[in-house]
Amino acid sequence: MIAGRAGATTATGVAHGLGIEPAPCAVEEFPDGELRPRVGSMIGDDVYVVAPTGPPTSSAVVELLLLLDACRRSGAARVSAVVPYFAYARQDRRGSAGEALGARVIADVLEAAGAQRVLVVDPHTTALEAMFSVPVETVTAVPTLLDAVAGDLATQSVVVAPDLGAAKLAQRVGSRLSIGVAVVRKTRTSGRTVEATEVVGDVADRAVLLVDDMVSTGATLETATRVVLAHGARPDVSVLATHGLFVGDALARLDALPLRRVVVADTVPVTVDRSWISVRSIAPVLAEAISRLHGAVRT
Ligand code: R5P
């Protein structure tokens, strides 16, 4: 196993879970931003490259591509891309004429660079698998995140999906916790702004557990929170989201909300510091998945 710079902590945790040591790997960055990775000999090895593609997204993608290529050229028998946070998965279809199909482009270049298998955590879309011709394995952080909130759930809570895309996740969490579900109708107006006014389901006088795959600028959570509060929800909001990107104005937006806590996994390194942010390790889930995949190679 080797790790890109953003995947180092996760890889150490995964390697620990597997009882191995990560292999040496260095990524040098030139003053112009160009990257040059270097790995050791990998002749005949089944190699797992751990590299989330979180912000800065474009350079993280390039770093992953170069690492895959370096492993392939160093003799690896098989190279798997372990991408805890898979960027561009929101571009799984063209919203309007003239756009690119971003998820497909990233899938193509990962394969071209040498990925023979891909392991991702809670991708934004289940359509991601269909973008690749190599096998894609998906694991989830949701049970890990739920463990963190289950013991501290306010009485009379409701699970809220902040948009239609999160409705299935909200259903899963609602049945797991045996509580009701509501869905906010959201429209994205730009990369940084969203609008919503409607809630389907009863949130009046209930504490709120918002669930989503990711927190990026916080616009979705902010808007959903304001809408449920306007519909009578208690100012007691918890958030469960796999990927905590916290970019742009996210912290200022979220600081202004009545948050009990925001629980995220470490699928990208969480460098921001707030008392209401709680981070859970995804390493045990990845270690279990890799152990299964590696076993499948040997049999
Ligand atoms: C969108 O469909 C996703 O599931 C998230 O709701 C969204 O990407 C979060 O982004 P932001 O925090 O910028 O609203």
To test ligand 1's pocket by mutation, which of 91, 213, 221 has the most ligand atoms within 8 angstroms of CB?
213
Evaluate: CB of 212 within 6 angstroms of ligand 1.
Answer: yes
User: pTM of the predicted model, to two decimals?
Assistant: 0.95
> Tens place of pLDDT for every residue, the chain, 299 residues?
999 999 999 999 999 999 999 999 999 999 999 999 999 999 999 999 999 999 999 999 999 999 999 999 999 999 999 999 999 999 999 989 999 999 999 999 999 999 999 999 999 999 999 999 999 999 999 999 999 998 888 889 999 999 999 999 999 999 999 999 999 998 888 888 888 889 999 999 999 999 999 999 999 999 999 999 999 999 999 999 999 999 999 999 999 999 999 999 999 999 999 999 999 999 999 999 999 999 875 53
Verify whether residue 168 is a known catalytic residue: no
Evaluate: CB of 63 within 6 angstroms of ligand 1.
Answer: no
Give the number of other Cβ atoms within 10 Å of residue 281's Cβ. Answer: 17
